[in-house]
Structure formats: C-alpha cells, structure tokens
Structure 1
C-alpha cells in the first residue's frame, strides 16, 4: 500500500472549505461528494455550511486570553513529557508536527510534504522546504531524526515511549527526507505522528525553559503552573495564520470561577465547562458553546495490585453499582453517551457496538460485595475537580452504595497536584483521558502491560500479543475483529470503569471565530491559538 495525503473527504466540512478556497466550482464539489457516497441533498447542506464558513473572513490582530481547567508546577515545554491540556496547548502553539488531524480524523500534512510507504513497515517522509525555527535555523531531516529518537531514550521519560518503540530505525536520507523503519507494519503511522508528543524540535535541544519551535507563536512567557504567553511568529511557514497578535493561556481550576471569568469578559475562551454551567452559558447572548464529542472520558480506576482491587468481586460489584444513565442525564446534563468500560467510543470506526455496559443492579452488587466480605468496610475513593465531573460521579456511586450498606468514602482533593500525587497512585481514584484517534494509541498508552498510563495496572500477555497483531494487520476485517475482542477484554478484566463518553464543551466570547471540533479533543484539539481570530 501507499499512503498519500488526503485533500478531502466526503463528510468533512473543513476539507470542502479547503476545496472552495482553492477555487473549486459548485459542480466539481458536488461531483466529489456524490462520488464518495454523499446524497445530493446532504451535499448541498455541506456546501452551504462550508460556504458560510469561508465567507467568515478571518480578522488579523488582537490578544486572546484563554483558561484551561488544570495546571501544575510540573508543566513543561518538552513535548515528549506533555501530559496535561496546558502542555498540549503550548506544544500546538510553539511547535509543529509532521502531520495533523483534520475534523474528520484524517491525517493531513504539516511539516511533512508527503508520507509514503509500500508495505506499512518502511516509510519515507518528505519535509517541506524553507521552514525555519524561531531562532532562524532551517528545518532539516536531522531535526526530525533527533526529535523522534528522543522518545526511544529511556532517560528522557517520554510519555509516548511505548508508542515510539515500534520505530526501530530513524535516519536521514538527505536534508529533506527521513526514513522510518518499524518493527512490524503499522498503517496508523501518519496518524500517530499527529499526536502532541511528536512535535519536532531543533536538533540537540535540551533546554526547555523556553520553546524554540517552528510553530505559529513565539514563546514570550512560560511560568509553570501559572501562565504562558505567545506572540505571533512573523516568519511562519503556512500561507494562512496565525491571526492573533498574541495569546495568554493559564488555568482556572474552579469551574464556577472559570465560567464567571468568561461571562465578565476577563477571558474570551473557557475550556471544558462543567455541564452544570451549560444552562447559564445558554442564557447569555454574548457567549457561545463549542461542543466536541470525540471520546473524552472520566473513569473510576481501581488498581488491580492493591486492596480493595485485589479482592475477588470488588470490581465486578462496582460495575453494577454505577448508574450510567443517571450520570449521563444528571451529572453530564445529557452531554455525553453511556460508556461500556473500555476507551474506544462510538465516534471511532473500530468501536464494538455489541459490547453492552454492565447493568445497574444494586442488589446484584450487594450480593457480590457480601460474598467478598466487603459490605460495611469503608473504602476511600479519591476524586477531584481536576478530573472532569469526577466529584459528581463519585457522589452518585456513593449514594448507590449507601443504599446497600457499601461504605464509599469520597475524598475530594485539590486540583493542584492531583495528577502527580493521586492519579495512577491511589488504590481507587478517578482519571480523565483526552481523545485519541486510534485504538492502538489508546491501548498502548493505557492498557498494554508496559503502558505509561496503565491506570489499573492491567497486564495480559494475550492482550499484548493481540495489540501487536492488530497494529500490523492490513486486513481491515481481521483488524476490526481483534479490536472488538480487546475492547471486551478491557471491559471485563481491567479495573477501569468508564461510565460515559463525555461531550467536551468550551465556552467562547461571541467575538471568537474559527474554532472547530477536532478528534484530538476540545479547544480544537488544543490547537485553537493558531486558528481562531477575534471579530471586530
């Protein structure tokens, strides 16, 4: 097979906009849409939306202040170590990737001019010419080789190490060509290279007190756990953007305070709003919502290597104690869909629709807990506003437990330090996972035996072998079958309980334009700074 950059897809409004900007006629656009299976009536609707978006001409200038929901003194400018939304926002502003994902989840070219392969194992990456780093250095293949090899260096501590390990050979063919050899075929490589961790650095970069990237913004201020300020890169290689002169990004961990800052005009973008705030947002004419449903979720993690996760029946009982419907309706205010305890949401083409969630059955849960000798035992459950809606979810489960004599002691801890002090460490705690575009990435990061974010310490040799098989399979039918089996294994064997897939809602000033959904998450996959503008 040979991978070629995709210029458009039939159901991708953003790609149709691109074709319109290139000068394609309405007849040409409809012909392309119909060729991809889109009906004429649906095609006309797509063209109307895309045409309206193109008509909204970007305005250059201005400063935008945006607030995320979580920050830490461990915030970093090293893309390899990025783990929070604040890290991803900075990475997207100051650096670039070889590829990026469009609205339909298709890999498009960014620093790469093309990425091609004949067998899905050996890949050739052609780089765009004339791209420069912020310090004036010209981008070459050596920079890409250095950046990718860092993920293989255990001393770096890359969060993407387990994914990058499949790259067994990374070398420069010439100044603008990189050869990537994989241990086994993986047709997902162009998508993998679009992840935030695989930003490209200048060769030899070791100082991350500042950012020297090729990105749309220059890093003017970086104060870990406090704020970041970026100013427009006057030498940016893309024909369009960025439109803002500068942006400031920081975190307001308290949901109410973040909403109030938006309503008062102190900020123009408030990320990941709590569903409880949606009614207030809807009542304000000067603010709007941006809704993205791409597989984000908050999960209850029960470590399999610590009590009470080692007790037979505890996890099974908890599955039946979770009222998923109530969580979607009451906690998420309908902004989500019921989850089935595995990370591949219905937005992904490999989602297993036959895998049903555990039924809410308190009596069955009580029987299981009683048999395990756990009724009446006080069990700490750590929750925090840092993990979206986890406090409310914990309360729902706690109330259900109280009715059957199961004592769940919900311990609400501060957002500051949650990810370094409690996540992955506490015996029973909540996590929040941002969307990932492929099952391979999700499973490699979260469920493989050596996964860096293995939240419940799940380990299965069979699972690991299936992961490798699916990754290398070019048979889509077999690949789908494997991923369905792996989803069932996670849902029934791991200690991660996923009640719902959450719709991410960002709140915007009505003056903020250009923000679109993205499969990598809210805030346009955290890349908002490059693409939005402020309407006069």
Structure 2
C-alpha cells in the first residue's frame, strides 16, 4: 500500500478528481501536474487515488439488461409462491423484507427498525416510519401481519408454510409495532424473516401481478417466462438508492448463448457463467467475473417412496458410483468443493468438517446394486439445463454406472416447466438449491418429514425431534452438536446426493460498479438491481 506523498493535500486530490471528471486524460493531467512542480511519483499516485475515488462514487442513471439461467411460465411476483432464482431476483427488485443478511450472514434491519425478544418466543417488531408501497399506501403493522398470516393459510400454498407454522399469535400494538408469539423458542426468527419469501406485501393483496411492494423499483412489465422491467422508485425510503433508472431481467437458458449475449453487449450482466465460458470472458478487458463460494448445489434426488429409491441398497450404491472429485475437476472446472450429501456447506459456520464424503467405489456400488436387484435394468434419470450442471453430472454418473452393469437412461427435458413438472415428482431427478442462512431453515424446508420441498421424501421422527430441540437452544455449542448429528443423518439416510458445493460465478460489463459476491447465491443473492451503478 502506498502512502500519500509528502506535501500533498486534500485540495490537490480534489483538483485531480475534478479534472478527471471533466474529461482530462492521464497524459494531460500528468503534464499539468509536472508543469506545476509535482514529482512524477506524486502525480501518478494522485491520478490513481482519484480514479479509485471516482469508481467508488455511485452514479445515477442507466438502463440495465441482465440475464439469469432459468425461467418458466410459472414465474411469479407472489413472495409466498416463489421457487426459483428468477423469482427471487424480481422479489428483491420490487419488495423489501423486515430484515436482511449482510455478506457475513449477520442480521441487519430493513423495513423493521428492531426485532427483539427476551425469551426467543415472544418477539416485538418495530417498523420504520414513512415507508410507502408503490401504490402510495403507507406501511403499517397490518401489512406485516397480513403477509405473515398468508404463509399459514393452506389455500395459499406458501413455499415456507413449514417455517411460518411456528408463528402462533400476531398482535398489532400500534401502526408501527407488532408482536409475534411462536409455539416454542426460536432464536433464528430474525434470520427467517430475511428470506425472500417473507417480502412484505400490502394488507388485502390478492392480485400480485402488479408487484406492489415497497422496493427500489416499480413494476412496468411482467411477462411470466419472458421478462420483467422495473423503473426507479422515486419515492424509495432508502434515499440514496437505487442508482439505475431501470432494470430488465429475463433468462437465457443456454450457457453459451448467455455468455455470447454478454460479450456482444446485448446484456450487461449474466448470472451463473459456466466454467467453459470463463476463459473467454477473462480474456475480454471489457468484462469482469465475480466468484463466490456460496454453498449452493445441484443434487441428484432419489425419491425414497418410489422405486428404485425405496431400496436402500440402491440408494447407497448410487452414492458410491458418483465420482465427486471428477465432477469438481471436469464439470465445474475447479469452481466448487467436494460435498458429502448434506446441505450445510463450509460457507456456514455450522458445517461439520469431520463428516467426510463417500469415496468413489465402483466395486462397492456394484455389490449394492446387485443386492438391490437393479443391475441390468434400465432406470430413467431426469436432467435439465434448469438445474445447473445436471446434464454434465448425469452423463458422468451414467458412464460410471454403465461400466458395472447399471443402465441409467438420462432424459434431458426442457427448462420451461421443469420445476413444476419434474422436480419433486420424478423418481430420480436433479435439484438446484440456493443456500439458506441457518441450518434450521435449510433442514426445515428440505428435510423435515412434512417439508414442502422434501426432495427425496425423507422421513425421520428422530430427525424432526432433534431439529425442534436445536431450534430452541440458545447455547451455540449444544446447537452445533445437534446440527452435526443432523448433517450425518441426512448424509447417510436421505435420498439426496450432493456431489459438490458450487461456486457462483457471475459476469458483467466492467462499467458496472457496486457489485459484490454474496454467500447466499449468485446475482448478489438476487439483490443486485438495488445496489449497482454504471461508471461515469
């Protein structure tokens, strides 16, 4: 790190910065400074400082076009029904939550000024004053209570009904204060309320196509399965945000086409760049890559309530026929870490590093397949570009299995409709899961016996009991002990095979500033539109 040259003042810094803003080139500025008696080192140093200051200063304006990797006609602006990254991006564009999580996973307040409890069971939430919805309605405690109660209504079909079920009582103390009573203590409630599904909607809302939230952009266009366009919310309660005038978001399913659209300038931001495209983008000075080891994963799901997943020997054999090291090396090109069939990644402080992944062991797999009676039978496996890298993973697993007499029929299906028609439904299929902030949330959503997203239909009363016990513990050491046990149970007993934790890699124009990696997935966990800007 350089120190400021002697006799150099802030006014000198300001002079240089203003000259650059007026369009002075490096050569012109150096000539001016040298003519004024500045040393070459001081002049070069000042220019560098000024460039950094300008780059770090947000600039208002600009229309962004950004592309994700999957889309469907079931895309929604109803926070309760969101299920894909495409949905989460749009929720972050049009709505706000009571709380958010910073890059370190710490809870920060958003629409709430405070979320407090003395016993982790009765919680008091104080709301910010003066927040308005896009419709002009003022945010009150009634909106929050309406939002949370929707998740408990079976008719809504909320994706987080399992998490909302613990919210037993709601009380509006006044317009800006409410109380929530849980059925048992849960110290993670502030983190739970930071989930995208708990975005706050206006009291009485039944039509969500308007995207009437309190968020940074106002919905102008929403065509499910096609695109959305939002324009800057000029009455946004965060006075300095957003910086962009508008954001258009859509999906380009094909990895190569998405990268090509970025390189040609048709879009300025592309989510989830494939390892194959990385080198091309790195060689282009007009583009930059942002990588985050977020803990998201693509998993192979074997439904335990359907054949052949109802045969434990078959499920165990599949876990040994997956060459995890080779998947990280060849499919992910090093952009990932070997995983051990459970969802709590090394990015989470509760990850059990002592739980080792199963080694690639074709002989053991063959023994188990033979024992299950499945050798020499043809078994369908559903894969899709909608689940990142699943096509490549399926091909690699298929090749390994064929060498020992197991015939896997990999069926590649279209991205559109995959999450509605195949995910959770087919006997063997792939998922693609974003990380959640706490083990309790992840296990509750995907592994508890009655979870809506229980991908392999894993059911264990013991697991459910331990999960509930950990939820009420304020002693982190005791919670860790239980979470380690739960990770081991999922790894050994569930039908979800998680070969690797993925590194999220997004790519964008070098003119985009303010973009940071997120531990909650690519595209800044879905929130990029609110924070980025185009350099002047």
The answer as to whether partners of 1:68 and 1:250 remain within 8 angstroms in 2 is yes
The alpha-carbon deviation at position 534 of structure 1 amounts to 1.0
| Aligned 1:165-204 pairs, distance under 5 A | 165-204=165-204
Corresponding position of 1:498? 498
Corresponding position of 1:22? none
The alpha-carbon deviation at position 450 of structure 1 amounts to 0.8
Q: Does 1:422 align with 2:419?
A: no
| Aligned 1:40-79 pairs, distance under 5 A | 56-79=56-79
Corresponding position of 1:404? 404
Corresponding position of 1:311? 311
Against the structure 1 CA distance between its residues 64 and 167, is the aligned structure 2 distance closer, same or farther, given a 3 Å change threshold? Answer: same
> SS of the counterpart of 2:83?
coil
> SS of the counterpart of 1:369?
helix
Q: Distance in 2 between matches of 1:284 and 1:329?
A: 24
Corresponding position of 2:246? 246
Segments of structure 2 that go 5 or more residues without pairing to the other structure are 1-48
Corresponding position of 2:153? 153
Q: Distance in 1 between matches of 2:239 and 2:111?
A: 13
Q: Does 1:224 align with 2:224?
A: yes
Q: Does 1:164 align with 2:159?
A: no
Q: Distance in 2 between matches of 1:211 and 1:407?
A: 47
Give CA-to-partner distance per residue, 1:441-477, whole Å, 9 cap, x none.
1111100011111100000000011111011111111
Corresponding position of 2:477? 477
> SS of the counterpart of 2:504?
strand
The answer as to whether partners of 2:95 and 2:216 remain within 8 angstroms in 1 is yes
Give the ranges of 4+ consecutive aligned residues of structure 1 lying more than 2 Å apart after TM superposition: 51-55
The answer as to whether partners of 1:160 and 1:445 remain within 8 angstroms in 2 is yes
Give CA-to-partner distance per residue, 1:333-363, whole Å, 9 cap, x none.
1000000000000111111111111110111
The alpha-carbon deviation at position 520 of structure 1 amounts to 2.0
The alpha-carbon deviation at position 519 of structure 1 amounts to 2.4
TM-score (norm 2): 0.89
The alpha-carbon deviation at position 311 of structure 1 amounts to 2.0
Corresponding position of 1:463? 463
Corresponding position of 1:31? none
Q: Distance in 1 between matches of 2:499 and 2:532?
A: 33
> SS of the counterpart of 2:312?
coil
Q: Does 1:524 align with 2:530?
A: no
Give CA-to-partner distance per residue, 1:398-456, whole Å, 9 cap, x none.
11111111111111111111111111011111000011111011111100011111100
Corresponding position of 1:144? 144
Corresponding position of 1:21? none
The answer to which of 502-511 and 514-523 deviates more is 514-523
Give CA-to-partner distance per residue, 1:351-379, whole Å, 9 cap, x none.
11111111101111111111222111111
The answer to which of 272-281 and 491-500 deviates more is 272-281
> SS of the counterpart of 2:119?
coil
Number of aligned residue pairs: give it. Answer: 488
Against the structure 1 CA distance between its residues 53 and 363, is the aligned structure 2 distance closer, same or farther, given a 3 Å change threshold? Answer: farther
> SS of the counterpart of 2:155?
helix
Q: Distance in 2 between matches of 1:290 and 1:83?
A: 24
The alpha-carbon deviation at position 276 of structure 1 amounts to 1.7
Q: Distance in 2 between matches of 1:289 and 1:186?
A: 38
The alpha-carbon deviation at position 54 of structure 1 amounts to 9.3
The answer as to whether partners of 2:173 and 2:179 remain within 8 angstroms in 1 is yes
Corresponding position of 1:115? 115
The answer as to whether partners of 1:101 and 1:519 remain within 8 angstroms in 2 is no
Q: Distance in 1 between matches of 2:266 and 2:420?
A: 29
Q: Distance in 1 between matches of 2:496 and 2:82?
A: 22
Q: Distance in 2 between matches of 1:482 and 1:311?
A: 28
Corresponding position of 1:390? 390
The answer as to whether partners of 1:328 and 1:338 remain within 8 angstroms in 2 is yes
Corresponding position of 2:349? 349
> SS of the counterpart of 1:365?
helix
The answer as to whether partners of 2:96 and 2:200 remain within 8 angstroms in 1 is yes
The alpha-carbon deviation at position 315 of structure 1 amounts to 0.7
The root-mean-square deviation of aligned C-alpha atoms, in Å, is: 1.5
Corresponding position of 2:94? 94
The answer as to whether partners of 2:456 and 2:495 remain within 8 angstroms in 1 is yes
Q: Distance in 1 between matches of 2:242 and 2:144?
A: 23
The answer as to whether partners of 1:101 and 1:518 remain within 8 angstroms in 2 is no
Corresponding position of 2:285? 285
Q: Distance in 2 between matches of 1:422 and 1:275?
A: 26
Give CA-to-partner distance per residue, 1:294-317, whole Å, 9 cap, x none.
110000000001111112300110
Q: Distance in 2 between matches of 1:519 and 1:178?
A: 30
Corresponding position of 1:33? none
Q: Distance in 1 between matches of 2:332 and 2:71?
A: 23
Q: Distance in 1 between matches of 2:282 and 2:402?
A: 35
Larger radius of gyration: 2
TM-score (norm 1): 0.89
